[in-house]
Amino acid sequence: MHQGIGLDVFNAMPMRRAVHAVYECCYSVPLAADLARARPYLDHATLFREADALLFGLSEASVDSILEAHPDIGRRPGSAKSRAEQCAIWCDKPEVMEQLGTAAKRYFEHFGFGFVMCVTGYEAPDVLATMTDRMHNDVDTERKIVRNELARINRTRLERMLGPEGGYDNW
């Protein structure tokens, strides 16, 4: 994943590279292309608002494609990126991990798409409780929640891609 490239570099990238950088954050070619096409951005906040607007404007089929690209909760690939993602949720208690797996399967069977949550700052029991609570939602409500969670995930990934607002000092 592109990390810490800075807004100026992102704004100056060739279209193809900019689309690739954004795609790594959002898993949507249409969103990535539209976000890259709207450059240059004056600041991070403007880019984030545009990313949110584009996400909320996507069709349900496009959101389903994004959801298919998200790893299952609790599946722990070893990459550095994964440590900040929902697949990194882990608990040393095997019964909690088993409960998470069972709940994720029930969630998928109930809604027809995988559970997504921006898990920054949460532990496995918190995620399990949230998943259990969200099982009470109807599909339309849950799809709205999913878009909000995807927006939060996109934001954290875009923040990692860009780095700090003022950029890094490259001495």
H runs (alpha helix) in 73-163? 94-111, 124-134, 139-162
Identify the pLDDT of residue 71: 77
How many other CB atoms are there within 10 angstroms of residue 118's CB atom? 18
Q: Are 156 and 25 in contact (CB under 8 A)?
A: no
Fold exhibited by the domain 7-162 = UraD-like (1.10.3330)
Percentages helix, strand, coil for the chain (3-state, rounded to 5) are 65, 0, 35
Amino acid letter, residue 57: G
CA 17, CA 14: separation in Å to the nearest integer?
6
Domain boundaries, the chain: 7-162
Q: Does 1 score more than 50 pLDDT?
A: yes
Residues 118-157 have pLDDT tens digits of 988 888 899 999 999 999 999 999 999 999 999 999 999 9
For the stretch 126-139, what's the b/e string if a residue is b when 16 or more beta carbons lie within 10 angstroms of its beta carbon?
Answer: ebbebbeebeeeee
- Supply the pTM of this predicted model: 0.88
